[in-house]
Structure 1
Amino acid sequence: MRASSTLSRLLLASVPVGAVSRLNFQQQPIHTTSKPRPGDEEGVGHFSEWSRAAKKEFLIDWQASRESEWILVQGNEAGDLDSMTAALTWAYHLEHSTANTSNPIKAIALLQTPTDCLDLRPENKLALHNSQMSSGHRDLLTMDELPEDPETLSRKVKGIVLVDHAEPLRKWKDAKILSIFDHHVDRGAGPDAKPRIFEKTASCTTIVARQMLNELEKLEAEYHMPHELLELILSAIAIDSSGLTDEKTTHDDVETSDRILKRSAWKDTHLKDVMDSLDEQLGTAKKDLDHMSLRDLLRRDWKGDMVDTPSPRTPAVSLGFASVPYSMDEQIAKTEFEELFDWFAIHAAWTAQIGVDISVSLNKYKTKDNDGKKKKIREIVLVVRDDVRIDQVQADSLFKTVKEAIERNSSIVNLKPWHNANQLAPRQMVWSHESESGRKLVRPIIEEAVMAWD
């Protein structure tokens, strides 16, 4: 442990016995209600109480047809720690900064993932546990707990705020975009949103927390900022910036972390020690995935939406991306029969369940070269279905269009067919490459190909 022993005790005080040396979280059964289960713990502290109360009040107001009073703060559908923390932070700020005004705001963070998917990110579970939130995520509002279809609800709510998310999912397209905070590419959504901030930082939580602090410090009287939320903010920035040491770390990541630290329970500890310790613990938890099934690995970091096409027969198709930190061979070994066909059977069952036409799995892993040096390998798995919105002829055409777009793109260097590509079925392809082209680069290539497909 690189941090001081005092800090270590602070960080680990709420971690169960045995979790320090080996963070091995067990999968929880699927549940979509906030009713406690045997063994569940109730959250303690202001942050947990506020989050649970906001969820209850939102559902009460929905029942009373008062949805128009609410702002939904949404992260992206992958539900990582950065996205979740940014949404919770801004929802807390909106409500508390206006509580004593003539126009108080009702705001709630909406996590755009099902409840059971939250535990597929062990680092989220650890960070929430350390922030003294209720177990089973009962304090949080997730997509499967929405009492109304998003397409309908989007027209009723006061508006939405996007964090770590450049544009709303298609299901929220009718909602008014009030604010956007993102550290990715500006896609032009919500031109009238205020604030509307796109900035390259390691963590989107940095942008949200900085804006929160700037506004908080201008108030005549500051509202209460619970230390649990402050520590959650530091956790999100730490894991996205490798403890403020990653090359993508900016001055704002460092400065905002320092401002947050000075308000936290760790204010007497050096920033480097705090961020090192958080990064070490959360990074260990994040890698604890060996117990997960293939289906859970596909679900845990999934992003997808409808994409427009020029085709009059099929004006939109459903496109989704999974990011998996295991090789194709390692994933196959996780299946019941440990065979290629079983990987595609499990993948097909999952994509059929969520109604996807075209899916892409982006795998990454490390191996050693002939000199014993580690090198990163990435894989792209492309699959097109013919049983959702498109028929077999259309599926063949779409597969060909996307396959050619991937193969001719010069930014994906050293692209070559996977070693067992000759065993693949029609409309299935797997490539490997050694470039740094992850989802942020590959997704636009494929989206542009789909949008040009006719």
Structure 2
Amino acid sequence: MRISSAAAAWALAAPAMAAVPSSPNQHPIALQGSDDAPQRPTRVASSASPIETGVGHFSEWSRETKRQFLIDWQAGRSSEWIIVQGNEGGDLDSMTAALTWAYHLQHATQNSSEPLKAIALLQTPTDALDLRPENKVALDNSQMSSGHSDLLTIDELPEDPETLATHIKGIVIVDHPKPLRKWQAAPILSIFDHHKDSGAGPDAKPRIFETVASCTTIVARQMLDELEALPEEYHLPHELLELILGAIAIDSGGLADATDEDRKTAQRVLARSNWRKKDLDDQMEKLDDELSDAKKDLGNLMLRDLLRRDWKGDLVDTPSPRTPTVNLGFASIPYSLDYQITKTGYGELFDWFATQAAWTAQVGADISIVLNKYKIKTKEANGSKKKRKIREIVLVVRNDVRIDEHQADELFKVVKTAIENDKTLNVKPWHRANELGRWQMAWTHERSDAGRKVIRPIVEAAVESWD
């Protein structure tokens, strides 16, 4: 079998990692240096920047699990592994839910006659992980190794997903209703999600779709239920418990937007953590403040990074015999289109679309939707100022991947009409819409909850009806 990843070669050469005792007072050293440092857990300095190995049981487990997975792949034992994967946006909720369930599967079965091997896969490239600064803060707080070297990312897989999917025991999907098309050959063992049920994996167990603020709530609750039913509980490291609380906190606004299940689960997790003596609301608000502040720290990102930091895309089936599938992608950006234009090299409208075209060409998208949100201050009749939430939708269709010019015309019209005809959105043309080119359109609207969860079904339904 060929070795197509440096990760596999490193795994075979690396010595077994010694256990590092967990201590709430231990913290990894923050290192300054290039992000091009070798992404491997080692204390040996390189010409760029060394990796500082994380401390504590959780970092040790994650690092050793990654090592064993790569060793087993090299030895032809991929069939022994379950891959727990979130969505390709790689937000804190998706990452934490995947890590939590992989940890649970391994530890809940370790003393059984059929122990499971499970690893969390982040479907985000390594160099894109720091585009979400809140993830870096949460991982640092959980005493993980620098450079994300404890984590398995999509670009570290030693085999393409389409092939690997046919070899592994199966996949568990968290924070997403169905697997990406490249994983469709893998058996779906479980699904945990807080989105709309798409019907995937009807035989999966557990298979839970529930409206909660955070998918991590569902996963953590299931983990605790199963843990407490075991004859003897396994060890839950405080670093993992604190990561779970952070994911729930940022998704629920520090519990301000939490459901009863979010709150109950957070309380159960808190009771097992090093923060057990703290007030739940105070601690969750503190976590939300810290992570939300980090999440907003995007001022150094140029447009290409803003597009790819929260990109989710996949193939969508159509009834067209000419083009049975198209690649549809969504980006979510917390800035207005006008501001994003200033984050291009030339600071001009044409450069926004040139940068967007270069990114979508790289990922092979036929249709892309960019969802923007921002706030403006307006003056009320009584002289007071009020913040209004504004959202934008930018639609672009391209004709150089799977579709020709005529098909691009048709597809653009179908999707554009679907967006404009949705009465719940009540979109209005963007103020510079008359300057846009062929197969380009932008709108504004003020439906506050209309993020990807709302817009994606509208667009997918339009694509699926295109003939």
TM-score normalised by structure 1 residue count? 0.93
The one of 396, 402, 421 equivalent to 1:383 is 396
- Work out whether residues 31 and 115 of structure 1, in 8 Å CA contact, stay in contact via their aligned partners in 2: no
Amino acid at match of 1:286: K
- Work out whether residues 214 and 251 of structure 2, in 8 Å CA contact, stay in contact via their aligned partners in 1: yes
Q: Which residue of 1 aligns with 2:13?
A: none
Q: Which residue of 1 aligns with 2:122?
A: 111
Q: Which residue of 2 aligns with 1:34?
A: 40
Shift of 1:33: 4.4
Q: Which residue of 1 aligns with 2:350?
A: 341
Structure 1 residue runs of 5 or longer lacking an equivalent are: 1-9, 18-24
Whole-angstrom distance in 2 between the partners of 1:451 and 1:30:
42
Q: Number of matched residues?
A: 435
- Work out whether residues 28 and 119 of structure 1, in 8 Å CA contact, stay in contact via their aligned partners in 2: no
Whole-angstrom distance in 1 between the partners of 2:199 and 2:26:
44
Shift of 1:31: 7.2
Runs of 4+ displaced beyond 2 Å: 10-17, 25-37
Whole-angstrom distance in 1 between the partners of 2:355 and 2:410:
24
Whole-angstrom distance in 1 between the partners of 2:292 and 2:25:
14
Whole-angstrom distance in 2 between the partners of 1:278 and 1:311:
48
* 1:256-278 deviations in Å (ceiling 9; x for gaps): 11111111111111111210110
Q: Which residue of 2 aligns with 1:120?
A: 131
Shift of 1:29: 3.8
Q: Which residue of 2 aligns with 1:4?
A: none
Does residue 166 (structure 1) correspond to residue 177 (structure 2)? The answer is: yes
Shift of 1:13: 8.3
Whole-angstrom distance in 2 between the partners of 1:315 and 1:266:
53
Q: Which residue of 1 aligns with 2:299?
A: 290
Q: Which residue of 1 aligns with 2:98?
A: 87
Shift of 1:392: 1.1
Whole-angstrom distance in 1 between the partners of 2:82 and 2:33:
32
The one of 273, 281, 289 equivalent to 1:264 is 273
Does residue 155 (structure 1) correspond to residue 166 (structure 2)? The answer is: yes
* 1:253-298 deviations in Å (ceiling 9; x for gaps): 1111111111111111111121011011001001101111100000
Shift of 1:15: 9.0
Does residue 438 (structure 1) correspond to residue 438 (structure 2)? The answer is: no
Q: Secondary structure of 2:208's partner? A: strand
- Work out whether residues 42 and 133 of structure 1, in 8 Å CA contact, stay in contact via their aligned partners in 2: yes
* 1:90-125 deviations in Å (ceiling 9; x for gaps): 000000010011100000000111111110100000
* 1:340-378 deviations in Å (ceiling 9; x for gaps): 001011111111111111000000000012322110000
Q: Which residue of 2 aligns with 1:54?
A: 65
Whole-angstrom distance in 2 between the partners of 1:293 and 1:26:
22
Q: Secondary structure of 2:288's partner? A: helix
Q: Which residue of 1 aligns with 2:370?
A: 361
Structure of higher RCO (CA pairs closer than 8 Å, 6+ residues apart): 1
Whole-angstrom distance in 1 between the partners of 2:204 and 2:33:
39
Structure 2 residue runs of 5 or longer lacking an equivalent are: 1-22, 43-47
Q: Secondary structure of 1:367's partner? A: strand
Tell me: CA distance 1:152–1:32, structure 2 relative to 1, closer, same or farther (3 Å): farther
Does residue 132 (structure 1) correspond to residue 138 (structure 2)? The answer is: no
Tell me: CA distance 1:386–1:189, structure 2 relative to 1, closer, same or farther (3 Å): same
Whole-angstrom distance in 1 between the partners of 2:287 and 2:446:
30
Q: Secondary structure of 1:181's partner? A: strand
Whole-angstrom distance in 2 between the partners of 1:337 and 1:26:
31
- Work out whether residues 334 and 373 of structure 2, in 8 Å CA contact, stay in contact via their aligned partners in 1: yes
Amino acid at match of 1:388: V
Whole-angstrom distance in 2 between the partners of 1:271 and 1:425:
52
TM-score normalised by structure 2 residue count? 0.90
Amino acid at match of 1:276: E
- Work out whether residues 32 and 115 of structure 1, in 8 Å CA contact, stay in contact via their aligned partners in 2: no
Coordinate RMSD, CA, aligned: 1.9
Q: Secondary structure of 2:375's partner? A: strand
Whole-angstrom distance in 2 between the partners of 1:274 and 1:283:
14
- Work out whether residues 371 and 392 of structure 2, in 8 Å CA contact, stay in contact via their aligned partners in 1: yes
Shift of 1:300: 0.6
- Work out whether residues 41 and 145 of structure 2, in 8 Å CA contact, stay in contact via their aligned partners in 1: no
Matches within 5 A, 1:17-32: 29=35
- Work out whether residues 30 and 115 of structure 1, in 8 Å CA contact, stay in contact via their aligned partners in 2: no
Does residue 407 (structure 1) correspond to residue 416 (structure 2)? The answer is: no
Amino acid at match of 2:277: D
Q: Secondary structure of 1:373's partner? A: strand
Shift of 1:338: 0.7
Tell me: CA distance 1:144–1:212, structure 2 relative to 1, closer, same or farther (3 Å): same
The one of 402, 410, 425 equivalent to 1:397 is 410
